[in-house]
Amino acid sequence: MDKKIAKLWKLPPEFEVFNNSTKINRKKTKWLAPNPHWYKLNFDGSTQNACQAGGGVICDHQGNTVATYEGNLKNHTVTQAEGMALLWGLRFSTTIGIKHLETDGNSQIIMEAVRGRFVAGWKVDFILRDARMLLTNLDGFSICHIFREGNVVVDSMVAVGRLQNGLRCWRNLDLLPMITKEILETEKTKSNDERV
């Protein structure tokens, strides 16, 4: 019966259904830089204590942070927050002239919904419709699911976003909160060490 439900719901392979509960088989993951002349957008959304937020980081192929953003959302579900974080990132990317973009997020629901394999509800689909339109305006794009371990920097941005009113975007990284700067530098150092 459980396997039939998993098939009916079209759960991805990393889900294992048993005894009316779902378990995610976690795999260790890490952030990987995009191909040369491409950029990578990592985004995330979350809810904590009735406060929803979203944020993201855009990096170049050498792991350099090009831009970051974060914002507070009110009266949204966590899935809506994830969708808005993606939409903000795509808008920001196209505004600064990015044409080739790899997009990583740790919400399997959002990734499957963007690909058209899952319907996340009309409120989320309304957000993702705009995201899909922005993706088609790029010269090249990819959408990948990444586990939370590969999205550490964005978790920091989302935590800061909960404390803000509205959306804030940075291209001048000197203005970033200190904790976010430290995480960005640590992640860049790790990425460079693994390439050597």
- The residue extents of the domains of the chain are 1-28, 39-195
Q: Which CATH fold would you assign to the domain 39-195?
A: Nucleotidyltransferase; domain 5 (3.30.420)
Mean pLDDT by 10 residues, the chain (196 residues): 49 43 46 90 84 88 89 80 92 94 89 78 82 91 82 70 74 79 74 58
* Long-range CB contact pairs, 166-169, < 8 A, 24+: 166/71, 166/72, 167/69, 167/70, 167/71, 167/88, 168/69, 168/70, 168/71, 169/67, 169/68, 169/69, 169/92
Looking at 71-121, list the stretches that DSSP marks H as alpha helix, in order from N- to C-terminal side: 78-95, 108-114
